[in-house]
Amino acid sequence: GESVGLHLPTLSVQEGDNSIINCAYSNSASDYFIWYKQESGKGPQFIIDIRSNMDKRQGQRVTVLLNKTVKHLSLQIAATQPGDSAVYFCAETDGTYKYIFGTGTRLKVLA
Amino acid sequence: DTGVSQDPRHKITKRGQNVTFRCDPISEHNRLYWYRQTLGQGPEFLTYFQNEAQLEKSRLLSDRFSAERPKGSFSTLEIQRTEQGDSAMYLCASSLPRTENEQFFGPGTRLTVL
């Protein structure tokens, strides 16, 4: 079936460096994409979203890039901080209410 | 804290027992979702309510699972005759009516079936 996946299961970055987390999706009908952050023992927390009519969206220290040609989504975190350590999930939806999540990437911030 | 609460946060039960979880969504959200998450995986959709109507159930939701949202506010998820394979985090989320609206997740209920 259609699914969302991630390239890297674990990413380690030095504090202060930029982080890039990637995600590949397979459903060309998906038109809304979301990045969630999940800390241990907690539910997913919304970070940023993007619609398919956009290529880039920026938030506070985070940027999401969408490449519909290759069905690729990325999350960029600027000046990574220890509090950014978590598992990051991308999710997609094709205009329905159902989110399809990938398996997640664990981000480790090294002091 | 997203405003979505779940109770209990942790549940340990023996195989064959029944368990019930509760979710209280954000008050103005009429859409409510249940997901299941196993270790190292992303959440998997289980079921969805719009107000009190259950509009979709995933094939992951076997006949041992039942969910209700009787008054369109809080929801319960019951698992009968629990099996070890039911051990997971059960997440509830809620959202406003538009399909693009962010789903706000609760902290989850961690179920361990011994």
Share of chain A above pLDDT 70, in %: 93
Give CA–CA dist A43/A37, Å, rounded. Answer: 9
Contact A97 B108 (CB under 8 A): no
> Six-digit token pair at B92?
């509830």
Best of B1, B56, B103, B104 to mutate (most A CBs within 10 Å, chain A)? B103
Q: How does residue B1 score in pLDDT terms, banded at 50, 70 and 90?
A: confident
Give CA–CA dist B1/B37, Å, rounded. Answer: 19
Q: Is 60 exceeded by the pLDDT of residue A2?
A: no
CA distance B59 to chain A (A): 13
Of A51, A91, A97, the CB nearest to B31: A97
Q: Which residue has the higher pLDDT, B98 or B20?
A: B20
Angle at alpha carbon of residue B45, lines to A6 and B87, rounded to 5°: 90
CA distance B45 to chain A (A): 7
* Full DSSP string of A64-106: EEEETTTTEEEEEESS--GGG-EEEEEEEESSSS--EE---EE
The dihedral over CA atoms of A33, A39, A44, A49, expressed in degrees to the nearest 10, equals -30
Task: Note the residue count of chain B.
Answer: 114
Q: What is the pLDDT of residues B42-64, one digit of tens each?
A: 999 999 999 999 998 888 888 99
Contacts of B93 in chain A (CB under 8 A): 43
Is B35:B21 a contact under the CB 8 Å cutoff? Answer: no
CA distance B107 to chain A (A): 4
The per-residue pLDDT for A1 is 37
Contacts of A89 in chain B (CB under 8 A): 42-43
Is B29:B42 a contact under the CB 8 Å cutoff? Answer: no
User: Nearest Cα to A78, choosing from A65, A60, A66?
Assistant: A60
